[in-house]
Amino acid sequence: MALTHSFALGREQCFQQVEKLTKSHRLHTSESLCRLLQYLAEHSLDHPGLALKEYQIATEVLGRPPGFDPQSDSTVRVQVGRLRVKLAEYYAQEGLDDPVVVELPKGSYALTFHLRTPKPGAPTVPALTFEPLAEKTAPPATRREWQIAVLVLSVTLLACLLTIAVLISERTRPQISTGLPVPPAYQIFWSRFANGPQPPWVIFSNGQFVGRPETGMRYFNPASDARAFILDHYTGVGEVLAIHQLDNVFAVLNHPLRVKRGALFSLDDAKNNDLIFVGSPSENLTLLDIPGTREFVFQRVDSGPRRGDLAVLNVHPQAGEPKQFFATPANQPTVEDYSVISLLPGLDPARSILILAGNSTFGTQAAVEFVCREDSIKELLRRLNVQKVGDLKPFEALLHVKIAHGVPVTTELISVRDRSN
């Protein structure tokens, strides 16, 4: 009885830790990673030593079709890598004092559970191993009696292990949902990108800089920096958070994304793919080579008190609208910005382009968050008079963003233009 009780207690502690992880700050916002963690935990504890295949994870957890090919689709490896990073981040911060540590070793889809080495003076934690059988005092026995006892105990132990294995294999495991219900607003707005033959490309901005981080950097100027070494591997905090938001939305849509920084993107990639650009043409330079916005255009001011600043040019201002929209001056803390959301036909008319960009990195973040929230998508669809999948036509929209301490706090849809004509 001590053996069975300890086994159940160990499993319970493991599942309690998994539940704690799914509710943590690092993981609770990602339903797909929580489902993946629960699935791997159940398989690792219920079928120890039985290797998982990418195909199983893709079709049973990530909602991929039966024709899933792990050789051409890296979804499972990407998601498992993300989960591995999240677990490491959790135990480096939130879970510093957790007694049970859950890890996902590289090259494996099996979780490991072990006790953290207690700190000096810390209370001891019950082990997750079997309790030893209680020792009993027995009178001396002959060699033959010992041999018989060992044989009987061995047969009994083998029978117990076989019984446990059968019970575990026949136990009905709770079904893990393969996907969340997709809100109708998501289906309408994202249908062009979630139903394509290939996952859409998300191209995030990484502007060209010269200089060194430790001595000062500035935007590359072709006129004066022709011989300078260009740094093109930086992006803004808003772009980073924006990619995270898009990833969450496409997890709900059960459709993968492909991500690439602008400096590595080519026009060949643009010809036959749906594209989502994150960042303005001032940093996402690929936008300079393809058809872009024509109602709300990003432009550097070449005269006046805001000379050199980036602004949104209102090409056809309507009644009461200004001709330019300015963010907070570059030499002051950013508290205000303007962002553009634009849906355009692709280079191949069967494909689509979505531009999500602000004057600043915070404006870009706000634009992406706007199309990732159900309530704001509903507002945009209402302004466009779109009610069902297939009705959404090319458009451009302008947002006014209020920012506090580097975080977009309010976003207002102030103007919409129909570009279907």
pLDDT at 6 over 50: no
Amino acid at site 134: A
Is the dihedral angle over the CA atoms 68, 70, 75, 80 positive or is it negative? positive
Same domain, 213 and 341: yes
Tokens of 146: 């010992």
404 pLDDT higher than 80: yes
Q: Are residues 246 and 200 in the same domain?
A: yes
Are the C-beta atoms of residues 131 and 5 closer than 8 Å to each other? Answer: yes
Confidence of residue 156 (pLDDT cuts 50, 70, 90): low
What pLDDT does residue 107 have?
80
Residue 393 has pLDDT above 60, yes or no: yes
- Tokens found for residue 220: 């590359």
Q: Is the pLDDT of residue 305 over 90?
A: no
Q: How confident is the model at residue 70 (pLDDT cuts 50, 70, 90)?
A: confident
Residue 201: band (very low, low, confident or very high) from pLDDT cuts 50, 70, 90: very high
- Whether 401 and 373 map to the same domain: the answer is yes
Tell me: do 151 and 204 sit in the same domain: no
Same domain (yes/no): 95, 191: no
Higher pLDDT, 261 or 398: 398
Q: What is the per-residue pLDDT for 207? A: 73
Query: Does the pLDDT of residue 43 top 70, yes or no?
Result: yes
* SS3 call for 115: strand
Amino acid at 273: N
Q: For the chain, state the CA radius of gyration.
A: 28
Give the model confidence (pLDDT) of 93-146 as tens digits.
888 888 889 999 888 888 988 887 655 555 544 444 333 333 334 444 455 555
Instruction: Specify the DSSP class assigned to residue 94.
Output: T
Per-residue pLDDT at 317 exceeds 80: yes
Q: The pTM is what?
A: 0.57
CA nearest neighbour of 126 among 7, 239, 15 = 7
| 221 and 282, same domain (yes or no) | yes
Query: Comparing C-alpha atoms, which of 207, 274, 278 is closest to residue 244?
Result: 278
**Residue scoring higher pLDDT (29 or 221):** 29
Q: What is the pLDDT of residue 378?
A: 95
Q: In 3D, which of 299, 318, 347 has the Cα closest to residue 416?
A: 318
- Whether residue 337 lies inside any domain: the answer is yes
Whether 27 and 63 share a structural domain: yes
Residues 48, 150 within the same domain: yes
Q: What is the mean pLDDT of residues 256-265?
A: 85
Instruction: Say if 107 falls within a structural domain.
Output: yes
The structural domain count of the chain equals 2
Same domain, 220 and 163: no
Domain extent for 7: 2-132+143-170
Mean pLDDT (the chain) is 79
| Segment among 8-22, 114-128, 147-161, 347-361 with least mean pLDDT | 147-161
Q: Evaluate whether residue 149 is within a structural domain.
A: yes
Count how many Cα atoms sit within 13 Å of the Cα of residue 388 in the half-sphere of its side chain. 0
Counting beta carbons within 10 angstroms of the beta carbon of residue 98, is it exposed (0 to 12), middle (13 to 18) or buried (19 or more)?
Answer: middle
Helices (H), 171-235: 184-194
Would you say 295 and 315 are in contact if contact means Cβ atoms under 8 Å apart? yes
Q: Does residue 15 sit in the same domain as residue 158? A: yes
Q: Which of 32-41, 163-172, 310-319 has the lowest mean pLDDT?
A: 163-172
161 & 279 share domain = no
Q: Per-residue pLDDT averaged across 53-75, rounded?
A: 84
What spatial distance separates the first Cα and last Cα of the chain, rounded to whole Å? 77
Q: Are residues 209 and 71 in the same domain?
A: no
What beta strand segments (E) does 290-379 contain?
296-300, 310-314, 324-326, 336-345, 352-358
